[in-house]
Homo-oligomer: A and B are copies of this chain.
Amino acid sequence: MFDELKAQVAEANRRLPALGLVTLTWGNVSGISDDRQAVAIKPSGVSYESLRPEDIVVVDLSGRILEGELRPSTDTPTHLALYRSFPEIGGVCHTHSRFATVFSQLRREIPCFGTTHADHFCGPVPLTRVLSPTEVEEGYEVNTGRIIVERFRVGGLNPLVTPGVLVAGHGPFTWGRSAQEAVENAVALEEVAAIAWHMLVLESDPMTLEGYILQKHHERKHGPAAYYGQQRRAAFGGKNECHS
């Protein structure tokens, strides 16, 4: 029933090692069906190389298994919390990629220092707060999703304009309109984090990118009059303006 979604999600997960985003089995990608009733996600602790579409687990938005023999990723409740609160997104990617994790564990946002950052994230990559002992005990994974959503609500952030976050003490989550786009944003986040880290080693407070260049770069790729790539990207209805 969910063959195409499962194939897309399997393929998105299998790409993670070649993209240098995962160590061992530290990462997982999911995608949601068009009617938003079914989420396909990587099974827990299974290696990427051997992952076949039939290994992918399908759950509903409450976490009930709809299809699949294996246990879903332990991070499934985090993914589901994101799908429930961010109706614009179609895929979620969680990794522990090195540089994004360094910023997560240092509990620092990543300022926008250049145009590659601006191409993907309008402004700093945000950071969540730390979970409380009670939140960890009562539902570690679902509450991880909730503090991400809280960070976006409090900060007035649009999930498609800022398609990722750093969870304090943990690591990055990214998302996009599809599982594949979630992975691409994980790649972009890791490279942006790497470049920022290398800059911060030489200077503790580098100049951030001029706001008018940030906005120009983001909008030529994602704004209502986008002209990057082969298709109009302004499929978001012109809502994805970057107000840095």
Contacts and interface: CB of A to CB of B under 8 A. Distances in A.
Interface stretch (A5-13, A80-88, A153-161, A200-208): A200-208
A74 B170 contact: no
A29 B130 CA distance: 39
A101 B116 contact: yes
Contacts of A209: 105, 169
B191 A131 contact: no
B45 A228 contact: yes
A199 interface: yes
Give the copy number. Answer: 4
10 contacts: A24-B184, A71-B230, A98-B198, A102-B202, A105-B113, A106-B199, A130-B213, A133-B210, A169-B213, A201-B202
Interface string A90-117: 0000001011011011110000011110
Interface string A213-225: 1001000100000
Given A45-B230, A71-B229, A130-B213, 17 more contacts: A23-B187, A26-B119, A71-B230, A101-B114, A101-B116, A101-B195, A102-B195, A104-B114, A105-B114, A105-B209, A106-B206, A115-B169, A115-B171, A136-B213, A137-B216, A201-B201, A201-B202
A194 interface: yes
A19 B201 CA distance: 25
A45 B133 CA distance: 45
B44 A195 contact: no
A27 to B, nearest CB: 10
A46 interface: yes
Contacts of A140: 216, 220
Contacts of A229: 44-45, 71
Contact of A191 (B23, B206, B210): B23
Interface string A30-56: 000000000000011110000000000
A236 interface: no
